[in-house]
Amino acid sequence: MIPELRFPDFRDAESWKEKTLEEVAKYENGKAHEQDIDVNGKFIVVNAKFISTDGEVKKYTNTAFCPAKKGDILMVLSDVPNGRAIAKCFFVDKDDFYTVNQRICKLTPTKAEGKLLYYLLNRSPYFLSFDDGAKQTNLKNEDVLNCPLLLPKEPNEQQKIATCLSSLDEVIAGNSQKLDSLKTHKKFLMQNLFPQEGETIPNYRFPEFVNDGEWNSTRLNKIASISSGGTPSRAKTEYWNGNIPWASTTLIDFNEIKKVNEFITPLGLENSSTKIFPKGTILMAMYGQGKTRGKVAILGLDASINQACAAITLKKGLNTNFVFQNLAGRYDEIRSISNPGGQENLSGELIKNITICYPNVISGEQQKIAECLSSLDDLITSQSEKIEQLKLHKKGLMQGLFPKVEMEQEYNQRSASTVNSAFQLIEI
């Protein structure tokens, strides 16, 4: 009933007390707004999509059937099996701006610090336990109100913990904005360092190449050989767990593939449609789940691939990273040429006919563009890793600041140094 870490002012304070949510907050179900959606509306309709996308997907209305006030906690009550939205919470930061949709509940703190409640409730293991992984999860009001909580008795301690975690959230948000800015900057560069569709000269050129004239324009199959892979029979155990790397579309994400999850045997290679493609081969996903189709990657090792991957092996003289960046920047365009139908796919023939422009190999312009965009990729990767580290620090901090009740095993194994470094981050 006592957390591992406590602020100095409260080290001699009482143990935390067990409460139910009903004892510290008022509950209200949201109301349906679907018939009153207005793109020019005054209020944001807080629905499951709004909360699950951290506010990126919005709907508006001029009628607030269930207005939310600053300090309220809004929580998703319904989600698909193994969904990521169930019990995800949103903390209301201003008055007269949000209204609560159906399948969302509004919790108004009465005897607890609101932001602390938000951290305790957001994706709480208690609520996640209602998801059996087989059918739709629908949290009832009694399920929510009976949620067990451990809370410090002193309001000042509640406030201190909430402020500490909120400050780290602000650090994470600031770094996330920086990451978004880097990605936007790269997108802008790619739109201008490569010619637009139907053109052969880019908007921007490095000074030494301004007078080099038009780029060459051709189809992808004129500068590369294009083929796909295959999957050995899963029923044949002798085909798998060998020493030949085997890559699938799940690994393709505008990246360099340096390691794989599966390996096949020489017998598996012989009895499938795949072969070993050399390091430096560009892969394009022809189909796959979600937004996989059209993504590209570079093989960072010799590997075989599955049938959903197109292997693009460039002819000598062309810069691999230049072509990779060119195709990566045309993701939406490439997806748009997919075969129509129930499941839109790319095919080898469609990929072969993609038009590509490139400057003279001898001039060095390909290399310059590739280096420019690669350096920006390094910044984006570094910033992404920084954000992940901050999130890890936050998990470690919450491990220390809350009593160890139903904590995940990975948290129990975390060292005190991780928690201490998280405190140092807050001080910085």
CATH number (domain holding residue 190): 1.10.287.1120
- Residue at 211 is within a domain: no
- Residue at 241 is within a domain: yes
- Residue at 294 is within a domain: yes
Residue 267 CB contacts under 8 Å (≥ 6 apart), including other chains: 238, 239, 242
Residues 220 and 299 in one domain: yes
Burial 188-224 (b: 16+ CB within 10 A, else e): ebbeebbbeeeeeebeebeeebeeeeebeeeebbebb
Residues 259 and 343 in one domain: yes
Residue 242 CB contacts under 8 Å (≥ 6 apart), including other chains: 263, 264, 265, 266, 267, 268
- Residue at 105 is within a domain: yes
Whole-prediction pTM: 0.81
pLDDT of residue 92: 97
Q: How many CB atoms lie within 10 A of CB 237?
A: 10
pLDDT of residue 405: 60
Residues 223 and 353 in one domain: yes
* Tokens coding 364: 């060095």
* Tokens coding 206: 């490095």
pLDDT of residue 341: 60
- Full strand arrangement of the beta sheet holding 304-305: 262-264, 240-247, 304-305
Burial 271-291 (b: 16+ CB within 10 A, else e): bbebeebeebbbbbbbbbeee
Residues 351 and 220 in one domain: yes
Residue 89 CB contacts under 8 Å (≥ 6 apart), including other chains: 51, 73, 74, 75, 76, 118, 121, 122, 123
Among positive and negative, which fits the CA dihedral 144, 146, 150, 154?
A: positive
* Tokens coding 201: 């000269």
Residues 183 and 293 in one domain: no
Residue 378 CB contacts under 8 Å (≥ 6 apart), including other chains: none
Q: For residue 74, which phi and psi values (nearest 5 degrees)? A: -110, 130
Tally the domains of the chain: 3
Q: What is the DSSP string of 64-88?
A: -SSEE-TT-EEEE-EE-TT-S-TT-
Residues 341 and 253 in one domain: yes
What are the residue ranges in the chain where pLDDT is below 50?
406-428
Q: Where among 325, 358, 391 does a domain terminate?
A: 358
CATH number (domain holding residue 234): 3.90.220.20
Q: Where among 339, 358, 377 does a domain terminate?
A: 358
pLDDT of residue 273: 87
Can you tell me the distance from the alpha carbon of 301 to that of 281, in angstroms, rounded to the nearest whole number?
9
Residue 284 CB contacts under 8 Å (≥ 6 apart), including other chains: 252, 294, 295, 296, 309, 310, 312, 327, 334, 346, 351
Residues 321 and 277 in one domain: yes
Residues 62 and 158 in one domain: no
Residues 251 and 341 in one domain: yes
Beta strands in 216-290 (DSSP E): 216-219, 224-228, 240-247, 255-257, 262-264, 282-285
- Residue at 364 is within a domain: yes
Among positive and negative, which fits the CA dihedral 105, 109, 114, 119?
A: negative
Bridge partners (DSSP) listed for residue 148 = 20
Domain assignment of residue 144, given as a range: 17-151
Residues 311 and 369 in one domain: no
- Name the 3-class secondary structure at 13: coil
Q: For residue 298, which phi and psi values (nearest 5 degrees)? A: -115, 135
Residues 77 and 138 in one domain: yes
* Tokens coding 46: 């807080």
Residues 10 and 159 in one domain: yes
